[in-house]
Structure 1
């Protein structure tokens, strides 16, 4: 039954089903999000390969307030 594998008309049927399920308005946003996720995955994999470290379980964030709150507080400026 699956001896021939996927033929072009199989892929056409899958594409039609996806368009019907998700609608044509959501597909560009979904593709954009998938592309962004793939770029992030590729850059993280390259960084891991370059560093030789294990992957972290927390996602990286580019927001400045979170990075600022992670810095240690100077003991002279801390209020008691």
Structure 2
């Protein structure tokens, strides 16, 4: 069974929020949100760096092939 994000209704979000408050408590939720945000930011930067490295490698391979074809 596949669940799409569009299947989450506002009522579902409220239920998830209430459960999160019950589990973690209202004082801990902002800390958890901040930690999740910084983790996602670090992950995004790391994957961006990998993608940039991949692009640089592709450019070098293309330039090398072009130089070989000129000779």
Deviations 1:30-56 (A, max 9, x none): 11110110110010011000012xxxx
CA RMSD of aligned residues (A): 1.5
**Structure-1 residue corresponding to 2:26:** 24
Which of 1 and 2 has higher RCO (CA within 8 Å, sep 6+)?
2
| The one of 43, 46, 50 aligned to 2:45 | 43
TM-score under structure 2 length normalisation: 0.62
Number of aligned positions between the proteins: 49
Q: CA deviation at 1:11?
A: 1.3
Q: What is the distance in 1 between the residues matched to 2:34 and 2:8?
A: 26
Q: Which runs of 4+ in 1 moved over 3 A?
A: none
Q: What is the distance in 2 between the residues matched to 1:9 and 1:21?
A: 18
5+ residue gaps in structure 2? Answer: 55-71
TM-score under structure 1 length normalisation: 0.56
Q: What is the distance in 1 between the residues matched to 2:45 and 2:8?
A: 31
5+ residue gaps in structure 1? Answer: 53-80
Higher helix share: 2
